Amino acid sequence: MNMLELKGVSVLYGSDVQALYNVNLEVKAGQWLAIMGPSGSGKTTMMNIIGCMAKPTSGSVILDGQDTSKGSEADLTAVRRDKIGLIFQQFHLVSYLTALENVMLAQYYHSMVGEAEAFAALERVGLGARVHHLPSQLSGGEQQRVCIARALINYPKLILADEPTGNLDETNEDLVMDIFKHLHSTGSTLVVVTHSPEVASYADRMAVLEHGRVVEVTDPPPFEHKGSRRRRSIYG
Amino acid sequence: MDAKRRHTHHNHHHAHHSHARHSACAGRTKRGRQFKFVFSMLISSLMRRFGRMLVALLAISVGATVLYGMVAIYYDMPRQLGREFRSYGANMVIENISEAELDAALAKLPPLSIVGITPYKYSSVSMNSLPITLVQTDFSQVQQTNPYWQFTGRLPRAANEIVLGSDVAEYMLLNIVDIVDLPELGRSVGVVGIVKTGGVEDGFVYAMLGDNWTADIVELSIVAQSDELEKISTQLMQAAPNITPQLVKRVAQSETVVLDKLQALVYLVTIIVLALTMICVATTMMAIVMERKNEIGLKKALGAKNINVMMEFLGESALLGLAGGLLGSILGQVFAYAVAMSIFGRAIGTYPLLILATLLSSMLIAIIASLLPARIAIKIEPAIVLKGE
């Protein structure tokens, strides 16, 4: 079953800037897709379309059986809230909320805050001892793990990550990749946009974007990952 | 491997929720928890970003201070200025009345703010064999009702002591410590003082009026504006039918005119200050929206509805307004007190209702000033979170 399906998706900004040309792409439930491509290739636009933060100019986007390309702004908000977990390169934690409150924020907009559940989510990403810290008191890697805990708290159908290790050092990149591997092993569907062949190497498939077109879909990605580099895993 | 277990847990979780939604009690708990969370989020936003909110807080505080101070003075001014105006002379006159009659009539009225009640009893006498008008009065009351009368020397302390009007002293070539012959008061009557009034009263001679007086004219100086004075006059006539009070209209009316103009001025200044406050708060809030674009975009990316974003933003403004109003009420009381003390030389009261009004209007002003910034906030697109910086 396809969790995500893009059919003939084109995005036109203004009258002459075409960000995506007739993109066709499928992601099966439980699959891990990496999206790669140089700057300006349309990765961000693709993320916006998949993440229901923008609508395509033409074509359709079917997420979990629902066509999101025709919905209203409120419909898209509901899809983002109920079906998508977003992970960002910049983490985007609310600066005045603690790690725990940042996770609870996603619960708040989704359905109902549950402190115990938010606490458990942070514990699962190895931050049980840092729940009451503000983002400014956390390292980049810790902030990214808060961001991941927040993305996972409402059990999204699709986890969408934009350069999740772009601002992290190797150690933290390993920690984050551990979490992704764990999520993949537990059946989550992942779409990860990345520049890093190392990050892409863990995916099941890889799509390469160039000038707004999908020029290559490789199954599996043609990269070796440096498994030996791992120092520790929070999942043992 | 434990995918199934997780999904089972997930389903259980949802089932649990939908079950809970059907329970009214759980619904209340849910709303309570949600409200508690958003409230603590707003408090955190204000407290942990205090530096950023300081400008807006100061703007509201200054606005609230002026609002509170001005309105306190506005309310208090008639009372304050009424006292001041009383220095221009009595505003009510009653003819042919005794102290007992007047006291009885006044006792029937609600308590009045009376500055002074001065009886005058006139008689034609001869002083050093020249005809002259003798006025017997209560000097301590004269100083209250006619504070512009300028006495030199001292006031009479005994029945055989007099004060001369300045004209009398001049044309009779008399001065303080001179002794005159005034048969009605005694063989040798001492001149203890001279009074200058600037009016016909300078041509009279003044002596003490004893207790239980009956006066030809009684002047009353009451703290009241002309319409209130009319009411008091009517009430006095009802209380004692033989009393016919007359208002000194010139004094009473000019008082009202000046007060009306001053109050209009205060009103105008208050409105201008409130408008400036609103502009300042709106500008600050606009800057805050621009600064928090990413945060707003993130909240929308997480699934916040426009109404959520709007309510959080306005909620923050309302709390800011409350804090500013509280600070402004305190500063406003100090401000009004200082103004009242330096201009009128009298303390000003505290008005609990005014504090409440200041809090509410500060909140309202902060909310109104934030409406436009809030509209801009809800237009921020969630896609902003993916644009790198």
Domain locations in chain A?
2-229
Amino acid at A233: S
Q: Specify whether B110 is located in the same domain as B156.
A: yes
What's the domain count of chain B? 3
Average pLDDT estimate for B295-317:
93
In a domain, B43, yes or no: no
Residues B328 and B370 in one domain: yes
Q: Using a CB-CB distance cutoff of 8 angstroms, which residues of chain B are in contact with residue A186?
A: 1-3, 6
The answer on pLDDT for B325 being more than 80 is yes
* Model pLDDT, residue B25: 64
pLDDT confidence of residue B27:
66
Closest CA to B90 of B139, B163, B144: B144
**A205 Rama class: left (phi>0) / alpha (psi -120 to 50) / beta:** beta
Residue-range definition of the domain harbouring residue B201: 90-247
Which of A121-130, A227-236, B30-39, B344-353 shows the lowest per-residue confidence on average (mean pLDDT)? Answer: A227-236
- Note whether A88 contacts B295, CB cutoff 8 Å: no
**Would you tell me how many other CB atoms lie within 10 Å of the CB of residue A155?**
17
pLDDT grade, residue B39 (50/70/90)?
A: very high
Going by pLDDT thresholds of 50, 70 and 90, the confidence category of residue B302 is very high
Residue of A nearest to B9 (CA): A155
Listed residues B217, B247, B277: the one ending a domain? B247
Four-residue CA torsion sign, A102, A103, A104, A110: positive
pLDDT at position B89, please?
77
Among candidates A104, A109, A155 on the partner chain, residue whose Cβ is nearest the Cβ of B10: A155
Radius of gyration of chain B (CA): 36
Instruction: Looking at the structure, tell me whether residues B58 and B179 fall in a common domain.
Output: no
Report yes or no: A64 and A157 within 8 Å, Cβ to Cβ.
yes
Which of A109, A133, A137, A182 best probes binding to B when mutated, by most B CB atoms within 10 angstroms? A109
Q: What is the pLDDT of residue B5?
A: 41
Q: What's the first-to-final CA gap in chain B, in angstroms?
A: 38
Q: Exposed (0-12), middle (13-18) or buried (19+): which is A129, by Cβ within 10 Å?
A: exposed
Is there a single domain that holds both residue B243 and residue B152? yes
Burial of B289 (0-12, 13-18, 19+ CB in 10 A): buried
Share the mean pLDDT of chain B.
85
Q: pLDDT band at residue B132, thresholds of 50, 70 and 90?
A: very high
What is the C-alpha end-to-end distance of chain A, expressed in Å?
31
Nearest CA in chain A to B387: A44
Contacts of B385 by beta carbon, 8 Å cutoff, 6+ apart = A53, A86, A88, A90, A92, B294, B297, B298, B301
Cis peptide before A220 (omega within 30 of 0): yes
Q: Is residue B255 part of a domain?
A: no
- What Rg, from alpha-carbon coordinates, does chain A have? 17
Q: Is residue B40 part of a domain?
A: no
pLDDT above 90 covers what percent of chain B?
Answer: 37
Which two three-digit tokens encode residue A148?
């991941």
Residues of chain A below pLDDT 50:
228-232, 236
Chain B residues with at least one Cβ partner in A under 8 Å:
1-3, 6-7, 10, 13, 17, 30, 33-34, 37-38, 40-41, 44-45, 47-49, 294-295, 298-305, 308, 381-383, 385-389
pTM of structure: 0.72
B2, B6, B301: residue with CB nearest A86: B301
Name chain B contacts of A82, Cβ cutoff 8 Å. 303
Among candidate residues B197, B216, B247, the one where a domain is terminated: B247
DSSP state of B344: I
Put simply, the answer to whether A94 touches B382 (Cβ < 8 Å) is no
- Kindly identify which residue of chain A lies nearest to residue B49, measuring between CA atoms: A96
Q: Are residues B4 and B71 in the same domain?
A: no
Q: Classify residue B245 by its DSSP letter.
A: -
Fold of A2-229: Rossmann fold (3.40.50)
Q: Are residues B67 and B8 part of one domain?
A: no
B274 belongs to a structural domain: yes
CB contact (8 A) between residue A48 and residue B300: no
Lowest pLDDT segment from B2-16, B178-192, B220-234, B282-296? B2-16
> What whole-number distance in Å separates Cα of residue B257 and Cα of residue B84?
14
Residue B11 pLDDT > 50: no
Q: Tell whether B279 is covered by a domain.
A: yes
Give the pLDDT mean for B135-160: 90
The per-residue pLDDT for B59 is 87
Q: What is the mean pLDDT of residues B265-294?
A: 88
pLDDT, residue B370, reads 93
Whether B1 and B98 share a structural domain: no
Could you tell me the pLDDT band of residue B242, with boundaries at 50, 70 and 90? confident
> Which helix (H) or strand (E) element contains residue A49?
helix A43-50
Mean pLDDT of B176-196: 89
Question: What local confidence, expressed as pLDDT, does residue B314 receive?
Answer: 93
Contact call for A104 and B44, based on CB within 8 A: no
Q: Which residues contact A63 (CB under 8 A, 6 or more apart)?
A: A3, A4, A50, A52, A79, A83, A84, A157, A158
Per-residue pLDDT, B4? 40
Nearest CA in chain B to A109: B304
Q: How many inter-chain contacts (A to B, CB under 8 Å) are there?
A: 102
Within chain B, residue ranges assigned H as helices are 3-21, 24-48, 50-85, 99-107, 139-145, 166-171, 226-239, 249-291, 293-301, 306-339, 352-379
- Find chain B residues with C-beta within 8 A of A96's C-beta: 44-45, 47-49
* pLDDT score, position B387: 67
Per the domain annotation, does B41 fall within a domain? no
B75-115: per-residue pLDDT in tens? 777 766 776 777 777 888 999 999 988 888 888 888 888 88
B168 lies in the same domain as B66: no
Q: Which positions in chain B touch A77 (Cβ < 8 Å)?
A: 300, 303-305
Asked if B113 contacts B255 with a C-beta cutoff of 8 angstroms, the reply is no
pLDDT at position A226 is 64
Residue B39 lies in a domain: no
Domain identity same for B232 and B97: yes
CB atoms within 10 A of CB B276: 14
Boundary of a domain, candidates B212, B247, B282? B247
Residue A14: burial class (beta carbons within 10 Å; 0-12, 13-18, 19+): exposed
Provide the 8-state DSSP code for A167: T
Residues 6 or more apart from B358 whose CB is under 8 A from it?
A: B64, B67, B68, B71, B325, B328, B329, B332
Residues B382 and B345 in one domain: yes
